[in-house]
Amino acid sequence: MTQEEHVQQTIEKSIEAFWNHEKEEKPSIFEFLYFQYLFIRKRWWALQFMCLIILWTLLNLGFSQAIERKAIAVIIPIFTLLILPELWKSRKNNMEDIENSSVHTIRDIYLARLILFGAIDLFGLTTLWLFTFPQGIENMIFELLIPFNGICILMLGCLAFYPGREPYLPISLCFLFTIGWLLVISNENLYRSLSYPLWLLLFLFSCILLIFMVCHLIQKCKEVQA
């Protein structure tokens, strides 16, 4: 065996030993979630909290239901869009290759951020609606979670299918979705003509599509890792 082959063999064994050590020291799921929580800029959660406070204030000023629906149709997409900077951070800074070469890959990072934002956002939305409309959950499903799901679908779809570094496309699509949703909510005749089963079907469809987008994004992260 030549000296060059000895050097190459030593390098390979060193790399293998390093990764074995890193895997042994790999933090648990909850520790990893906590580390990701520390990395996330808390200003996005603060802005989301402000959106909920503004929305809660508007809903308690005694406006008509039509105006309240319009306020929800505008503020909830903005509230959801504030997730985008943290999801898009790795893409914008071209960090996928670095993160895919670490013990925790970009797939793990996306999952952790989605779990953290999803848990906190759903808690905030549920708390808002329980304090504002304690009589039931139907309006929460129709007026909060459908636009929330819609914006999430667009953001995750852009992460999965759009290779660009700048988030101009997802922001534009979310803006167009907000305009379309606002037009539907503002049309009183159309809004009242939609039956409860149709609203429920739309909500279930958005949930299925959201799950599909999450799974596709994670699958694509596995392909990048390989």
- Over residues 28-61, the pLDDT tens digits come to 677 778 888 888 889 999 999 999 999 989 888 8
Coil, strand or helix at 91: helix
CB burial class (10 A; 0-12, 13-18, 19+) of residue 213? Answer: buried
Query: Where do the domains of the chain lie?
Result: 1-28, 40-225
Distance CA 118, CA 126 (A): 12
For the ranges 124-128, 136-140, 161-165, 185-189, the lowest mean pLDDT is seen at 136-140
199 three-state secondary structure: helix
Per-residue pLDDT tens digits for 193-219:
877 888 889 999 999 999 999 888 888
